[in-house]
Amino acid sequence: SAVISQKPSRDICQRGTSLTIQCQVDSQVTMMFWYRQQPGQSLTLIATANQGSEATYESGFVIDKFPISRPNLTFSTLTVSNMSPEDSSIYLCSAQRGGVNTGELFFGEGSRLTVL
């Protein structure tokens, strides 16, 4: 299995500020993804983090709000910009090992964000 480290593990932020979450994988992986889990809900895919190029965003998510970087095969960041209380969620980094349509997905511990 892959070991994924995320930081911060939790944070309390003020409305209007931005926060960058870091994700480090212990070995090279084919794909990296960012998910959001709102309170009491399941996981929603925000975007696929592409190494060396712009991320691919899902419907309802835009680059201006959630800029993502992936400078290499083991590291990615997600920024939550101009935060509002509706952004309070757990943000989860995940990585896929193996083939694009066969690989297993692993998750970090998540970053619990509270926006006041």
The residue ranges that bind other proteins (CB under 8 A) are 1, 4, 6, 33, 41-45, 58, 90, 92, 94, 100-102, 104-110, 112
Q: How far is the CB of 39 from other proteins (least distance, A)?
A: 11
Q: Which is closer to other proteins, CB of 65 or CB of 112?
A: 112
Name, in order, each residue with C-beta under 8 angstroms of 38's C-beta and a sequence gap of 6 or more. 44, 88, 89
8 A C-beta contact, residue 53 and residue 98: no
Q: Which is closer to other proteins, CB of 73 or CB of 105?
A: 105
Q: How far is the CB of 79 from other proteins (least distance, A)?
A: 19
And the tokens for 32?
Answer: 């990296």
Q: How far is the CB of 35 from other proteins (least distance, A)?
A: 8
At 86, give phi and psi (nearest 5°). -65, -15
Q: Which is closer to other proteins, CB of 57 or CB of 81?
A: 57
Q: Which is closer to other proteins, CB of 81 or CB of 106?
A: 106
CA distance 43 to 75: 21
CA distance 112 to 109: 9
